[in-house]
Amino acid sequence: MLQLTFVEAGKAEWRDVAEPDLQEPGDALVRPVAIATCDLDGAVAAGAAPGIGPYPLGHEFVAEVVETGDAVDAGLKAGTLVQVPFQVSCGECEPCRAGRTGNCANLPARSTYGLGPFGNDFGGALTDLVRVPFAQHMLVPLPDGIEPQAVASVSDNVPDAWRTVAGPLEQRPGAEVLVVGGVTRSIALYAIDIALALGASAVHYVDDDEDRLRVAESLGAQVHEGEIPKRMGPFPVTVSGSGTHEGLHLAIRSTEGDGVCTSVGIFFELETPVPLLEMYTTNVTFITGRCHARPAIPKILDLVGQGRLHPEKVTSDVVPWDAAPEAFSRWRTKQVVVRD
């Protein structure tokens, strides 16, 4: 079968790979039907992480169940549409039971789909069949009425946005939120939608990209265009998604005393300066790192099903399967590849 493979910055191609099979009674084989490009894919395609590759692409996806092992129950019968978390986890170990599925104790560290050197790779989703271990835990059936291409990114980027605002807003109901956009093309926009769905009184969005500003405004944010200021607010909840030192510093400096700032941007350099003295004097809680996607997925799908979340509004490009290699490095905010 063919697998879309990252070769080098700006280049992806179909390559022949072996077809997977069921290896354990708890496995499932699924056929991806809608696959989203992650914000990290955009950075890699643009050459932000040189010297890596080749590796299989695709880790945000909705799939159709094709076959299951004997230990998988009838709720995941052939033909069921399912959301597949980008991180592979067992659901039974202590970290998984605590909701830290990105650090499953029964799998190698950073076990993921389609992230190559950024994870312990289980293959990519831009292919005909994907093996899913621990399928009973991993696979989340798609609620009726939800289109697969609308929620393809609920495997990773939408949960990444979820963790930036859901917990802080639970602690500070109705708080105002500041989101600084940029290199995280979609995560910052998803954070706007989620924050407002969860009761934020207002969301302020800072960016210099016209397309993203237009989407942010359509989602209900108060947009601030142009150069990044030194500080705003202060706000109880801030999100740094710019991927720049200036954007990171704006988010930190704009966090009020005892507030929470979450950074979802990846800084590829070895050293990143932060205003630690200001964080110390105001008791800022700073969070960074990979999200734990699996626990958030049912909550997100429920809000989408209720019409309270609208991830499809962030999608900028829908691409047919055969055009995926050519479209790999030519998308704006969020690309979704769909099978016929």
Q: Give the model confidence (pLDDT) of 42-52 as tens digits.
A: 888 877 776 67
Do 33 and 121 belong to one domain? yes
CATH number at residue 75: 3.90.180.10
pLDDT at 107: 95
Tell me, yes or no, whether 102 and 141 share the same domain: yes
Three-state secondary structure readout of the chain: CEEEEEEECCEEEEEECCCCCCCCCCCEEEEEEEEECCHHHHHHHCCCCCCCCCEECCCEEEEEEEEECCCCCHHHCCCCEEEECCECCCCCCHHHHCCCHHHCCCCCCCEECCCHHHCEECCCCCECCEEECCHHHHCEECCCCCCHHHCHHHHCHHHHHHHHHHHHHHHCCCCEEEEECCCCCCHHHHHHHHHHHCCCCEEEEEECCHHHHHHHHHHCCEEEECCCCCCCCCEEEEEECCCCHHHHHHHHHCEEEEEEEEECCCCCCCCCCCCHHHHHHHCCEEEECCCCCHHHHHHHHHHHHCCCCCHHHCCCEEEEHHHHHHHCCCCCCCEEEECC
Q: What is the pLDDT of residues 246-262, one digit of tens each?
A: 999 999 999 999 999 99
Residue range 322-339: mean pLDDT, rounded:
92
| pLDDT score at 270 | 78
- Asked whether residue 108 falls in the same domain as residue 73, the answer is yes
What is the per-residue pLDDT across 227-239, written as a single tens digit (0 to 9) for each? 899 999 999 999 9
Mean predicted confidence (pLDDT) in 83-101: 97
* 175 in Cβ contact with 191 (< 8 Å): no
85 has pLDDT over 80: yes
Say if residue 149 is in the same domain as residue 214: no
- Is residue 167 over pLDDT 70? yes
pLDDT tens for each residue of 269-285:
778 999 999 999 999 99
Q: Is the dihedral of CA 320, 321, 325, 331 positive or negative?
A: positive
Mean pLDDT for 178-188 is 95
| pLDDT in the model for residue 118 | 77
Number of domains in the chain: 2
**Co-location of 13 and 144 in the same domain:** yes
- Residue-wise pLDDT tens digits, 12-52: 999 999 999 999 999 999 999 999 999 988 888 877 776 67
Q: Mean pLDDT in the chain?
A: 94
How high is the pLDDT of residue 267? 87
- As a whole-number percent, the residues of the chain with pLDDT over 90 amount to 85
Domain span holding position 178: 158-288
The pLDDT of residue 100 is 97
130 has a pLDDT exceeding 70: yes
Select from 288, 309, 326 the last residue of a domain: 288
**What is the pLDDT at residue 51?**
65
Examine the domain organization and report whether 7 and 70 are in the same domain: yes
Cα–Cα dist 210/237, whole Å: 24
Instruction: Kindly tell me if the per-residue pLDDT of 244 is higher than 90.
Output: yes
Closest CA to 131 of 152, 110, 111: 111
Nearest residue to 176 via CA among 202, 209, 194, 137: 202
Q: What phi and psi values does residue 93 have, to the nearest 5 degrees?
A: -75, 170
How buried is residue 83: exposed, middle or buried, by Cβ count under 10 Å (0-12/13-18/19+)? buried
Percent of the chain with pLDDT over 70: 99
pTM over 0.85: yes
CATH value at residue 199: 3.40.50.720
What CA–CA distance (Å, rounded) separates 298 from 109? 24
Same domain, 67 and 193: no
Averaged pLDDT, 299-326 = 96
pLDDT of residue 101: 97
- Same domain, residue pair 193 and 85: no
